[in-house]
């Protein structure tokens, strides 16, 4: 099907717009010193190693590229995010440590602070002269940021902010950089001015002195050993009436006017009137973190697939009958399915993640003016979607790869242990996947309308019950190509619809539209059932929203997944369509077909239940998956070579011993 | 639905016939000294700990119960296996270490040796005075035992056996007890007498001297760190022309006659003429190991479920609208599904494993005479089935439980790390799950007929192509109860079939029968397509069996799973039916219903494709799963209390901090 140049051609497609920075990472970090060690390292040593790697890395030009986010000088965000994603191939403790320092801590100051904060901190953070924490999560409620317990109370008499943990459950938990390295923390807390709470804001609080000791009022705990990420010093922070200057409030979205004769207690002002919208604007600054976590998980998954697929090509199990010729694992149909289906999805995810990074780059980068709110909202929804898709795929696929390598996969030296353990928390942090899926579903329900912006379940249901008559998917990636493909398709109901890229797109769109529309109808029915007396009730009073949520939650999750699969296909289809080299396009199209058919197969129950495919078609789809796996098996080495993984990142005895 | 006595009543049902020994383990090992440590322990220390626990344990009366397997004194096998299963709740390194010493090493001598071996070794093994290895797996081919490379060649001149590793791929690998403790190894090797190979046999080879040093000719490697099981000293063994007396051959199934004037090179004799049958008789001695690995995985999974479910009952996430009342995780529909569906399957697995242990006890225990071959074959098939079912469930469920506990689940102290890492290899060892599923499928195809006993693919296909016209499931567990329930059922096609236990059984049986019958038909078609010229050809010549296997392998796997689900339902249905206490039975029946409906839901594609359910029925089944989860949620604490887990085994900060 293809010649030997295909791996290079495919790699250039996967590398995408910021391929140069990928090459830089490949070249500069291609050594055992950088790659995850192939024997367990005690936590204390691993932490030292990771801190030292972090500081060394901050001297590399490309890590600074996108970070000097002073207004007007945003840097090359796409390059920075791409480089960061590549760290997911190298070592995940380092990936997270960099993410905490640069993405979260630095990102909070860049995104939530104003010019004086940028001036004072950003260069020192970028250079590693100031190490810090992003202190959001609390013991009491991981995902419920709006209800954080920590308080930041303005004291007009001393013109200071008093940061306090009023209950044990308000202790900040799992905070990266807290146990060992951080000296300054960006603390999320309920801001209280003049006796009124104005919701969650972020305040800079010193936590360690020059000697590395906790400052008075701050108690620092060490989370100790985790399942993975041994190089990241997660810790706990508890604040006992800790005073910081008023200037330490990151005040882009809300500021404190000092006490004056008119306002003896000071006053709170904000450029955003709605508390809910302000809250979501602040959370929106997390979007880079979500994009990055998804990207890093995707990168680590490609490492695992490269190891398992290369092993399957050389490792033999059982002999041909009456022969001493062994049968390579890749010859077995189940083995092909186990590895090549996730491989196809990894391609889809990598390409969609590239699109998302470009999307973010355009929106937050050198666009000059402020992006419109709809575009920001869409970006956030896609970041959440791909964070879930990438991390869910990582957890399942790395496990599969370990199992596909049998006993050898269980030896620490062969890397699956670290890959699995380190990525395991990715489904949880930067937004728990289940919570994010609901967020995505809510976004689909409201079609990004401004009238519904909060997590408030009651408002959402009231809205869904009235306004969502029919949904229309909004194409995310691929632009006009997708429209053209769909327009030329034979129609989703045709027997041959799945054989046509446009038909595939139409089928994926249809699944999403129908799932969202029926979700809205179901919510409407539930809301109506509990509140028939007052159909005009705008507030949804009388409905028990928790009960409705309970009844519709699995449907919401299904809608979000239908959306995610459609996003992935759009990216994949557009890239495959645009590929100019015939042989490469043919190979890429076969991988895309495997992604499509295996996704329909995995969701065949839905397609059958909704009369989208017949029982015979469903069986034919499974046969087609087998065929596509057989077609791709001879190209499996090319397909993983295209990931462009440096030798040192995969170096292990596994392949020697096959 | 039930009163507070239910947990005790349920526990007594789950504990089963050997409940007394479960109580003994609960009482004697209920301390932090025995339970898995909640902080990481360096490998060297963990190995010391586990060796010392092993020796201490071998002094407990119940570990010896089933082990003194001298003919005529088989001990209480059921009690021994049950006690061993319980170690899966305590610490999995200890579980495996005991399994290697007593089950595999001791089991090989008991099962493959004869009286003089039993007399010389078994008491010392049982007392821990002789620690040993079970050296089967080689570098070259994990699952392909028939083609092992190690040789054991009889030297008639010195009346000795020469054990040798002719190639690097013949090195024994991953051998438990090899790296540190073992002094004697039961080595599986191709036995060569008078220049002829007689297939795989087991020879006892000393590997260490009194001082713990490798004996001359034996090279011992250390596998080092693994993903989990830090307390097990896995190693490599290479033999360079190592000589042992002829008596060291474990000669129950094949012996060497010493050189004599008539037979100057010695001679090989065996009570089993067929080489294939001899090989499978030897492998049959592994059945206890498979039963135990399944049981241990099931036990560890119940630990994880108990932690995650107790957490979900107290941990709150988000508040009710306009309220400070938090919503416990167990109130969320998706969270219920995540935890309660695996919980129901864990019940099914625990009950089926109890049945299997009783089955093995009857067959290998004090039955006096030799069991008939069909019964042995059925036992082996069920052991393989439940090994796969339990270990697959463990890998997926422990992962789910970790994720369901969010960031807390990621902290080492909360036990999921060790549970996940330690059980991760269970899908691989004692028979890789994919290989075992094919073994099960082959057994289904041949309906246990003696005419087809080997792994030989060609013979299997030739057989399937001719002999399997229609399959009839052979009921495994539950005896006459199942027959009665099925007889009284409304028939599998009736709308209400799923509401009736007999109807459920009929539906599960139908899925298995149909899947096996179509598999046979497919093989027949494939074989016919490549060999139309000679329909009477007994040998299947002309067929490329590897190609046929490739094309039918996913179907084989599907058939095996259909069989497994049916086995599980039979055990569960019989136990639920026999329960005398009304309230307990009602609760147990609801759990069984959830197992049934969630299993049908998970396989809905098959039921839809084959016209067994309509699209509307399929949707109704999903709604019923939601309803059953809602019915069981208030009883979740009772359901996990019934596991009877000692406090020390679950002790961790997770529940305190909720």
pLDDT at B619 over 70: yes
| Interval A290-312 mean pLDDT | 97
User: Is residue A275 a contact partner of residue A281, using CB atoms and an 8 Å limit?
Assistant: no
pLDDT tens readout for residues A3-33: 567 899 999 999 999 999 999 999 999 999 9
Q: What is the percentage of chain B residues whose pLDDT exceeds 90? A: 70
pLDDT at B475 over 70: yes
Nearest C-alpha neighbor of A408 from the set A655, A46, A49, A115 = A655
Give the global pTM.
0.94
| Interval A365-383 mean pLDDT | 76
* Residue A403: partners with Cβ closer than 8 Å, 6 or more residues away: A338, A409, B395, B427, B428, B433
Predicted pLDDT of residue A68: 47
Contact with chain A for residue B525, Cβ under 8 A: no
Residue given tokens 């949620």 in the structure block:
B633
Nearest C-alpha neighbor of B64 from the set B19, B14, B21, B116 = B21
- Taking the CB of residue B165, how many other CB atoms lie within 10 A of it? 25
Contact with chain B for residue A149, Cβ under 8 A: no
User: Is residue A182 a contact partner of residue A212, using CB atoms and an 8 Å limit?
Assistant: no
Whether B412 and A225 lie within 8 Å, measured CB to CB: yes
pLDDT at B533 over 50: no
User: Is residue B351 a contact partner of residue B339, using CB atoms and an 8 Å limit?
Assistant: no
Give the residue from chain B lying closest to A395, CA to CA.
B399
Of A22-36, A265-279, B398-412, least confident by mean pLDDT is A265-279
- The answer to whether residue B413 is catalytic is no
Residue given tokens 């619809």 in the structure block:
A497
Contact with chain B for residue A142, Cβ under 8 A: yes
- The ipTM (two decimal places) reads 0.93
Predicted pLDDT of residue B452: 41
Question: Are β-strands B184-193 and B132-135 bridged in parallel, bridged antiparallel, or unpaired?
Answer: parallel
How far is A574 from chain B, CA to nearest CA, in Å? 30
Predicted pLDDT of residue A371: 65
- Kindly state whether residue A196 falls inside one of the protein's structural domains: yes
Contact with chain B for residue A124, Cβ under 8 A: no
Contact with chain B for residue A614, Cβ under 8 A: no
How far is B620 from chain A, CA to nearest CA, in Å? 10
Between the two ends of chain A, the Cα-to-Cα distance in Å is: 27
- Kindly state whether residue A610 falls inside one of the protein's structural domains: yes
Residue given tokens 């027959």 in the structure block:
B483
Mutation site for B-interface testing, chosen from A92, A144, A190, A318 by largest number of B Cβ within 10 Å: A318
- Kindly state whether residue B550 falls inside one of the protein's structural domains: yes
Mutation site for B-interface testing, chosen from A232, A406, A412, A457 by largest number of B Cβ within 10 Å: A406
Number of domain units in chain B: 1
User: Is residue B315 a contact partner of residue B338, using CB atoms and an 8 Å limit?
Assistant: no
Q: Give, to the nearest 10 degrees, the angle between helix B373-404 and helix B287-314.
A: 30
Q: How is residue B567 written in tokens?
A: 């086995």
User: Is residue A79 a contact partner of residue A21, using CB atoms and an 8 Å limit?
Assistant: yes
pLDDT tens readout for residues B415-439: 999 999 999 999 999 889 999 999 8
DSSP A118: I
Distance between CA atoms of B64 and A130, rounded to whole angstroms?
62
Whether B553 and A334 lie within 8 Å, measured CB to CB: yes
If DSSP states are collapsed to H, E and C, what string results for B482-513?
HHHHHHCCCCCCCCCHHHCHHHHHHHHHHHHH
Residues in chain B within 8 Å Cβ distance of A392: none
Give the residue from chain A lying closest to B618, CA to CA.
A609
Q: How is residue A452 written in tokens?
A: 């519904």
Using CB atoms, pick whichever of B225, B331, B545 lies closest to residue A550.
Answer: B331
Nearest C-alpha neighbor of A136 from the set A234, A54, A20 = A234
Question: Are β-strands A218-222 and A132-135 bridged in parallel, bridged antiparallel, or unpaired?
Answer: unpaired
How far is A318 from chain B, CA to nearest CA, in Å? 6
Using CB atoms, pick whichever of A406, A554, A610 lies closest to residue B432.
Answer: A406
Residues in chain A within 8 Å Cβ distance of B442: none
DSSP B509-551: HHHHHHHHHHHHHHHHHHHHHH-TT-TT-TT-TT--HHHHHHH
Using CB atoms, pick whichever of B399, B425, B609 lies closest to residue A619.
Answer: B609
Q: What is the percentage of chain A residues whose pLDDT exceeds 70? A: 88
DSSP B237-275: EEESSEEEEGGGB--SS-EEEPP-SS-TT-EEE-S---H
Confidence bin at A472 (pLDDT 50/70/90): low
pLDDT at B464 over 70: no
Q: Which residues of A are catalytic?
A: 430
Residue given tokens 């049998």 in the structure block:
A406
Question: Are β-strands A242-245 and B172-175 bridged in parallel, bridged antiparallel, or unpaired?
Answer: unpaired
Contact with chain A for residue B547, Cβ under 8 A: no
How far is A225 from chain B, CA to nearest CA, in Å? 5
Distance between CA atoms of A319 and B541, rounded to whole angstroms?
17
Mutation site for A-interface testing, chosen from B550, B551, B619, B634 by largest number of A Cβ within 10 Å: B550
Longest dimension (CA), chain B: 99
* Residue B619: partners with Cβ closer than 8 Å, 6 or more residues away: A609
Nearest C-alpha neighbor of B630 from the set B339, B370, B243 = B339
pLDDT tens readout for residues A170-227: 999 999 999 999 999 999 999 999 999 999 999 999 999 999 999 999 999 999 999 9
Q: What is the dihedral of CA B529, B534, B538, B544, to 10 degrees?
A: -40
| Interval A107-121 mean pLDDT | 93
Mutation site for B-interface testing, chosen from A411, A442, A545 by largest number of B Cβ within 10 Å: A411
Distance between CA atoms of B106 and B187, rounded to whole angstroms?
13
User: Is residue A29 a contact partner of residue A46, using CB atoms and an 8 Å limit?
Assistant: no
Whether B318 and A147 lie within 8 Å, measured CB to CB: yes
Predicted pLDDT of residue A534: 43
Whether B411 and A40 lie within 8 Å, measured CB to CB: no
Confidence bin at B450 (pLDDT 50/70/90): very low
Q: How is residue A36 written in tokens?
A: 């995850």
A to B CB pairs, distance under 8 Å: 212
Nearest C-alpha neighbor of A332 from the set B262, B279, B432 = B432
Q: What is the dihedral of CA A425, A426, A428, A431, to 10 degrees?
A: 150
Contact with chain A for residue B147, Cβ under 8 A: yes
| Interval A436-444 mean pLDDT | 90
How far is A563 from chain B, CA to nearest CA, in Å? 18
pLDDT at B517 over 70: yes
Contact with chain B for residue A546, Cβ under 8 A: yes
Q: Which domain holds residue A493?
A: 433-472+481-634
pLDDT tens readout for residues B173-217: 999 999 999 999 999 999 999 999 999 999 999 999 999 999 999
Contact with chain A for residue B458, Cβ under 8 A: yes
- Residue environment code for A456-493, b if the CB has 16+ CB neighbours within 10 A, otherwise e: bbbbbbbbbbbebeebebebbbbeebbeebbeebeebe
| Interval A543-552 mean pLDDT | 77
What strand order describes the sheet that includes B172-175? B172-175, B235-239, B218-222
pLDDT at A446 over 60: yes
Of A519-533, B371-385, B643-657, least confident by mean pLDDT is A519-533
Residues in chain B within 8 Å Cβ distance of A618: 605, 608-609
Distance between CA atoms of B193 and B255, rounded to whole angstroms?
10
Domain at A152, CATH number: 2.40.110.10
Contact with chain B for residue A550, Cβ under 8 A: yes
Distance between CA atoms of A70 and A485, rounded to whole angstroms?
41
Using CB atoms, pick whichever of A395, A416, A618 lies closest to residue B605.
Answer: A618
Say which of B85, B236, B381, B430 is annotated catalytic: B430
pLDDT at B234 over 50: yes
Predicted pLDDT of residue A437: 95
pLDDT at A526 over 90: no
DSSP B138: B
Mutation site for B-interface testing, chosen from A428, A522, A548 by largest number of B Cβ within 10 Å: A428
How far is B148 from chain A, CA to nearest CA, in Å? 10
User: Is residue B182 a contact partner of residue B207, using CB atoms and an 8 Å limit?
Assistant: yes
Contact with chain B for residue A221, Cβ under 8 A: no
- Kindly state whether residue A78 falls inside one of the protein's structural domains: no
Residues in chain A within 8 Å Cβ distance of B40: 43, 225
Residues in chain A within 8 Å Cβ distance of B410: 174, 226-228, 424-425, 428
Mutation site for A-interface testing, chosen from B149, B174, B406, B603 by largest number of A Cβ within 10 Å: B406
Alpha helices in A424-493 (DSSP H): 433-446, 457-467, 480-487
- Kindly state whether residue A220 falls inside one of the protein's structural domains: yes
Using CB atoms, pick whichever of A227, A327, A458 lies closest to residue B412.
Answer: A227
Using CB atoms, pick whichever of A407, A412, A457 lies closest to residue B137.
Answer: A407
- Kindly state whether residue A20 falls inside one of the protein's structural domains: no
- Whats the size of chain B, residue-wise? 658
pLDDT at A344 over 80: yes
Q: How is residue A342 written in tokens?
A: 């996730």
Confidence bin at A493 (pLDDT 50/70/90): low
Give the residue from chain B lying closest to A558, CA to CA.
B334
Give the residue from chain B lying closest to A222, CA to CA.
B411
Whether A227 and B402 lie within 8 Å, measured CB to CB: yes
How far is B108 from chain A, CA to nearest CA, in Å? 21
Contact with chain A for residue B608, Cβ under 8 A: yes
Which residues of B, range 33-52, sit inside 8 Å of A by Cβ? Answer: 39-40, 42-43
- Kindly state whether residue B629 falls inside one of the protein's structural domains: yes
pLDDT at A560 over 90: yes
Domain at B553, CATH number: 1.20.140.10
Whether B546 and A326 lie within 8 Å, measured CB to CB: no
Question: Are β-strands A132-135 and A172-175 bridged in parallel, bridged antiparallel, or unpaired?
Answer: unpaired
- Kindly state whether residue B412 falls inside one of the protein's structural domains: no
Distance between CA atoms of A655 and A415, rounded to whole angstroms?
12
- Taking the CB of residue B159, how many other CB atoms lie within 10 A of it? 14
Using CB atoms, pick whichever of B142, B433, B455 lies closest to residue A407.
Answer: B142
Of A8-12, A273-277, A598-602, B578-582, least confident by mean pLDDT is A273-277
* Residue A611: partners with Cβ closer than 8 Å, 6 or more residues away: B615
Q: What is the percentage of chain A residues whose pLDDT exceeds 90? A: 70
Query: For residue B536, with 0-12 CB atoms within 10 Å meaning exposed, 13-18 middle and 19 or more buried, which class applies?
Result: exposed
Contact with chain B for residue A608, Cβ under 8 A: yes
Give the Cα-Cα-Cα angle A141, A146, A152 (nearest 5 degrees): 95
Predicted pLDDT of residue A492: 63
Contact with chain A for residue B323, Cβ under 8 A: no
């Amino acid at each position: 099907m293809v010649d030997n140049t295909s791996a290079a051609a495919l790699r250039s497609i996967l590398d995408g717009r910021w391929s140069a920075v990928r090459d830089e990472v490949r070249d500069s970090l291609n050594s055992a010193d950088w790659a995850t060690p192939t024997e367990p390292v005690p936590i204390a040593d691993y932490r030292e190693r990771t801190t030292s790697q972090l500081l060394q890395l901050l001297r590399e030009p490309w890590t600074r590229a996108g970070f000097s986010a002073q207004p007007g000088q945003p840097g090359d965000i796409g390059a920075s995010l791409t480089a960061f994603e590549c760290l997911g191939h190298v070592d995940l403790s380092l990936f997270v440590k960099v993410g905490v320092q640069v993405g979260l801590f630095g990102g909070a100051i860049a995104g939530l602070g104003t010019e004086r904060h940028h001036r004072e901190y950003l260069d020192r953070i970028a250079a590693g002269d100031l190490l810090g924490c992003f202190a959001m999560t609390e013991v009491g409620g991981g995902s419920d940021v709006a209800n954080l317990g920590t308080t930041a109370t303005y004291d007009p008499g001393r013109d200071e902010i008093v940061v306090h943990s009023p209950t044990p459950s308000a202790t900040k938990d799992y905070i990266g950089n807290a146990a060992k390295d951080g000296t300054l923390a960006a603390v999320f807390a309920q801001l209280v001015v003049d006796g009124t709470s104005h919701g969650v804001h972020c305040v800079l609080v010193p936590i360690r002195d020059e000697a590395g000791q906790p400052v008075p009022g701050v108690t620092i705990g060490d989370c100790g050993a985790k399942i993975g990420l041994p190089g990241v010093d997660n810790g706990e922070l508890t604040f006992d009436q800790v005073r910081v200057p008023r200037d330490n409030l990151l005040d882009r979205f809300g500021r404190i006017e000092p006490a004056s004769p008119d306002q003896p207690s000071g006053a709170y002002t904000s450029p955003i009137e709605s508390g809910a919208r302000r809250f979501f604007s602040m959370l929106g600054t997390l979007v880079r973190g979500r994009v990055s976590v998804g990207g890093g998980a995707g990168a680590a998954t490609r490492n695992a697939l490269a190891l398992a697929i290369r092993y399957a090509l050389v490792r033999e199990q059982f002999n041909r009958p009456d022969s001493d010729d062994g049968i390579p694992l890749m010859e077995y149909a189940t083995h092909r399915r186990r590895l090549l289906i996730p491989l196809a999805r990894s391609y889809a995810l990598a390409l969609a993640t590239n699109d998302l990074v470009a999307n973010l780059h355009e929106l937050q980068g050198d666009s000059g003016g402020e992006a419109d709110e709809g575009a920001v909202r869409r970006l956030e929804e896609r970041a959440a979607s791909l964070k879930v898709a990438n991390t869910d795929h990582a957890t399942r696929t790395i496990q599969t790869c370990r199992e596909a390598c049998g006993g050898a996969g269980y030896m620490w030296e062969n890397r699956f242990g670290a890959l699995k353990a380190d990525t395991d928390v990715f489904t949880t942090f930067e937004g728990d996947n289940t919570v994010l899926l609901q967020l995505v579903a809510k976004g689909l329900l409201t079609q990004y309308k401004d009238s519904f912006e909060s997590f408030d379940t009651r408002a959402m249901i009231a809205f869904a019950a009235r306004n969502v008559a029919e949904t229309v998917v909004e194409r995310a990636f691929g632009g006009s190509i997708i429209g053209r493909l769909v327009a030329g398709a034979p129609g989703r109901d045709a027997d041959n619809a799945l054989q046509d890229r446009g038909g595939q797109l139409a089928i994926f769109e249809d699944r999403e539209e129908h799932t969202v529309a029926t979700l809205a109808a179901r919510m409407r029915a539930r809301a109506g059932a509990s509140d028939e007396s007052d159909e005009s009730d705008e507030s949804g009073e009388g409905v028990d929203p928790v009960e409705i949520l309970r009844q519709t939650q699995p449907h919401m999750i299904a809608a979000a997944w239908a959306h995610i699969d459609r996003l992935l296909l759009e990216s994949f289809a557009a890239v495959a369509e645009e590929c100019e080299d015939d042989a490469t396009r043919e190979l890429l199209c076969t991988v895309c077909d495997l992604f499509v058919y295996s996704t329909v197969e995995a969701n065949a129950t839905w397609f059958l239940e909704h009369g989208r495919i017949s029982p015979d078609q469903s069986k034919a789809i499974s046969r087609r998956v087998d065929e596509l796996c057989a077609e791709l098996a001879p190209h499996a080495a090319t397909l993983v070579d295209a990931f462009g993984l440096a030798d040192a990142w995969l170096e292990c005895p596994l392949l020697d011993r096959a």
